[in-house]
Amino acid sequence: MKTFFEKTILENIDLEGYGLSNDLTEYDKVKKLHKIFKGEYGWNIDRMGERRAFCEWLQGLPSALTVPFYNYEILNIAYLNGLIKANATEDEEDKFLNNYFVNLSDAFFTLYNNL
């Protein structure tokens, strides 16, 4: 069973801007996305490591992977999916937001290594 973050990655991959079909298996989508990432941001991997570089690339809102990025949208999705309690404090919301892109990056590499 896939995590919230893994589902978010898979549901938001869009390869059409690269002349590729979105009608691919999850495995192929993830592999192609990794290739796009390395082509666009691979130069930064040696300096900061692949996961951190992917996180930074993702925060730049690449067209191949457009995840929710507005704080209110991220929090709304988190509440709807039970990732944050209904009575969460502002500190709890901030913690979720601060870890959001790191968690997405980790989820991507979990998919990449396990599909």
56-74: per-residue pLDDT in tens? 999 999 999 999 999 999 9
Residue 112 tokens read as 């990449």
Q: Is the pLDDT of residue 93 over 90?
A: yes
pTM: 0.94
Q: Is the pLDDT of residue 1 over 90?
A: no
Which residue, 95, 70, 83, 61, is CA-closest to 7? 83
pLDDT of the residue at 115: 86
Which residue, 52, 64, 57, 60, is CA-closest to 102? 52
Domain ranges for the chain? 4-114
SS3 call for 65: strand
